[in-house]
Structure 1
Amino acid sequence: MRADPDAPDLALFHSRRPATAAGLLTRNHFPGAPILLARERLAAGRLRTVVVNARFSNVATGPAGLADAREMAELAAHETGVSPQEVLVGSTGIIGRRLPMDRIRRGIQGMGATLGPDLWPAARAIMTTDTHPKVVSAQVEGATLTAVGKGAGMVSPNLATMLVYLFTDAAVPAPELDRMLRAAAARSFQVLSIDTDTSTSDMVVALANGAAGEVSATAFRTALDAVCLSMAELVARDGEGATKLLRVQVSGAVDSSEAGRIARSVADSPLVKTMAYGADPNVGRLLMAVGKCVTCRVVPGRVRITLQGVEVIRAGMPVDFPEARVRELLGGDPVNVRIDLGLASGEGMALGCDLTEGYVEENAAYASS
């Protein structure tokens, strides 16, 4: 389905054993057909197979699009020998175009015979504007937890153009898996924003087949948090046209909600993002981005900000900082902004990236490329 006929654009993941499942789905009011189907499948808390296509997102395609998604599930079920109810479908790409089902049928046929342990080919197949495949793995008391993901643009909290699939052979009951996944996402994918746009196709789904037996809940939670954060940072660093990760941490807010909103305001600011790209320590932009959160409690005289570990704002005003040194530090990756509001103990974080000419070039003719 890609312009390059040799580039992979279909991925099939399969568990030989029944697996518990949990997931988070986009809250966009125009969910794609795979999201509608996922709402049904995840309600049962059990999955075994995931099939994903790139290039076309199967969004705004009506009943015919939902029928296409169901057919994809049936085709994948036939290849893996499971019930269609145990198959999750993911699609990513251009909005408003039907899937080329003839090509998808041909593509899925025979995929069951090619299944293997190497996840990297599947990670490449689900890429859209990503510049590289994304896989993160961790060991948990003899079990393995691995995430495969994609995402580069149309990325914002309440999920994004981001597909992330987490697979583990640890035994985790579905309700517990759901709770831990939501908590991990709240500290990773739900604080990630590349361009403020919440997509129509996003999902973060975890499958646990129990082949390695039980592990401690604490160890699994720690590993899940780390894997999700690592994947979120990979997505941010690979934002369309991006050259570096932007990490904003806020402390001293009246509560965690306001801290998160202020962190996101800074990470989403085009002026802050271009400051990061140009390595230009124009620190007044940081004050602007904090101050525009007019519904949050901010006392200017209590605000302190560091940029790349160097204090640049104290008591709400710029200090005499080593500009040449900060400029040099801003040329690196990541760019770290720490903001202390000096009010209470609320903390929050946002992940983003710089803004470059590459973002415009990527999106000016995306549907035509």
Structure 2
Amino acid sequence: MSNTDAVEWPAGFRAVTAHAGVREAGDDLSVIVSDRPAVSAAMFTRSRFAGPSVVVSRRHAAGRRLRAIVTLASNANVATGEQGAADATEIAGHVARLTGVAEDEVLISSTGVIGRPLPMGPIRARLTGAWGAFDADPTAVARAMMTTDTRPKTAVRAVGGARIVGVAKGVGMIEPNMATMLAYLVTDAEVGADELDGALRAAVDDTFNSLSVDSDTSTSDTVAVIAGGAAGPVDAVAFAAALREVCLDLTEQLARDGEGATKLLRVTVEGARDREQAKRVAKSIVNSPLVKTAVHGADPNWGRVVMAVGKNSDDLDIEQEKVTVRFGDVEVYPAEQTGEVLARLTRVMSQDEVDIGVTLGIGEGRATVYGCDLSDGYVRINADYTT
């Protein structure tokens, strides 16, 4: 199901959104809660400048029994010192009282500008004031999480008699080193804590950790899954597959909506020594500004792709004579570029989804990574972000 279709929470989950004064207008605060005791798994940024919200959430997530998630949009609460830590702890406490769960069952995320203290006056007033019904749907939560995103991102899959629903945000400062941006997954499936953790880590490695918009790793990256169990047990293999599908759906939505992006870019490298080499080479392609601008301009300049492969100078087993490059299903290296081939390539590169394939001719390793083109829109968004 696409993020334009109506999405409802799985059984046992509800949510609320509100304006808490973090930004000038629009909802900037969201809370998701499980009405039942739950098991959970979470992964966080490895940035050395991880924000206080991440630090608090890491501590709470260690118990594997998260039940509530609160997000503040437009302020990262990063590089804010002891006050930032106190603010994150206070907010988690207010949400615990609001939802009736234990404080260490609350995950808190903040996203936005770095280095500014949270406006605790209006946030505190909102969290301690009167609240309406917890009737916000996943799309409303995804919209309240947005910063420079242009559209909310949701995904859903069924597994047995249960459902998995995901929401995500993030279109810039994205090359994850764990998960990426903010992504929350909730399910009414009954799943063991170890099983849930393993399924999340495997899914993240193939999806969020294979995404790059601009090669920059955020200080606030968080991905978490909460399983409430209202729908009963499901097949473990089917659950892991469905969880991966939700993560992949969100990953491609994030890539399509990359800051200033007009095209989704997929790069698949196969025939590598192992998966790690395949992923490393694929990332060098998807992160190349020259490749990304060629994709933006529908320019079939395969020389930029072989350049990106070749700059992996420590991979001594990569040999020019064994490498092949494809744009879509058209081989461009080594191949003769006739007029007919160039016409086909122009059509391939003009699509809103562009696939680049590379075979290294070494072994059986394979990986696909996801990204987007690079336009002047990216420069404008980030040049003017805080001014």
TM-score w.r.t. structure 1 length?
Answer: 0.96
Q: CA separation of 1:318/1:67 partners in 2, compared to 1, >3 Å: closer, same or farther?
A: farther
Mapped partners of 1:190, 1:239: distance in 2: 15
Letter in 2 for 1:276: V
Mapped partners of 1:161, 1:363: distance in 2: 19
| Structure 1 counterpart of 2:89 | 70
Shift of 1:4: 4.3
Aligned positions of 1:333-352 closer than 5 A: 333-352=352-371
Shift of 1:272: 0.3
Shift of 1:113: 3.5
Letter in 1 for 2:228: N
Say whether residues 1:229 and 2:248 are aligned partners.
yes
| Structure 1 counterpart of 2:11 | none
Aligned positions of 1:41-190 closer than 5 A: 41-109=60-128, 113-116=132-135, 118-159=137-178, 162-190=181-209
Contact 1:159/1:199 (8 A) holds in 2: no
Select 1:36's aligned residue among 51, 55, 63: 55
Mapped partners of 1:318, 1:189: distance in 2: 36
Q: CA separation of 1:185/1:342 partners in 2, compared to 1, >3 Å: closer, same or farther?
A: same
Select 1:312's aligned residue among 332, 337, 341: 332
Give the stretch that moved more between structures: 322-331 or 262-271. 322-331
Select 2:319's aligned residue among 299, 303, 306: 299
Mapped partners of 1:177, 1:222: distance in 2: 12
Q: CA separation of 1:343/1:267 partners in 2, compared to 1, >3 Å: closer, same or farther?
A: same
3-state SS in 2 of match to 1:93 = strand
Contact 2:180/2:208 (8 A) holds in 1: no
Mapped partners of 1:318, 1:187: distance in 2: 34
Q: What is the aligned residue count?
A: 365
| Structure 2 counterpart of 1:240 | 259
Say whether residues 1:265 and 2:270 are aligned partners.
no
TM-score w.r.t. structure 2 length?
Answer: 0.92
* 5+ long unaligned stretches in structure 1: none
| Structure 2 counterpart of 1:277 | 296
Mapped partners of 1:114, 1:161: distance in 2: 30
Letter in 2 for 1:275: A
| Structure 1 counterpart of 2:3 | none
Contact 1:307/1:326 (8 A) holds in 2: yes
* 5+ long unaligned stretches in structure 2: 1-20
Mapped partners of 1:94, 1:118: distance in 2: 26
Mapped partners of 1:198, 1:111: distance in 2: 37
Mapped partners of 2:310, 2:107: distance in 1: 43
Aligned positions of 1:182-201 closer than 5 A: 182-201=201-220
Contact 2:27/2:144 (8 A) holds in 1: yes
Say whether residues 1:20 and 2:39 are aligned partners.
yes
Shift of 1:226: 0.7
3-state SS in 2 of match to 1:98 = coil
Shift of 1:234: 0.7
Shift of 1:162: 0.8
Mapped partners of 1:111, 1:284: distance in 2: 61
State, as a whole percentage, how many aligned pairs show the same letter: 47
Contact 1:153/1:161 (8 A) holds in 2: no
Contact 2:263/2:372 (8 A) holds in 1: yes
Mapped partners of 1:59, 1:262: distance in 2: 32
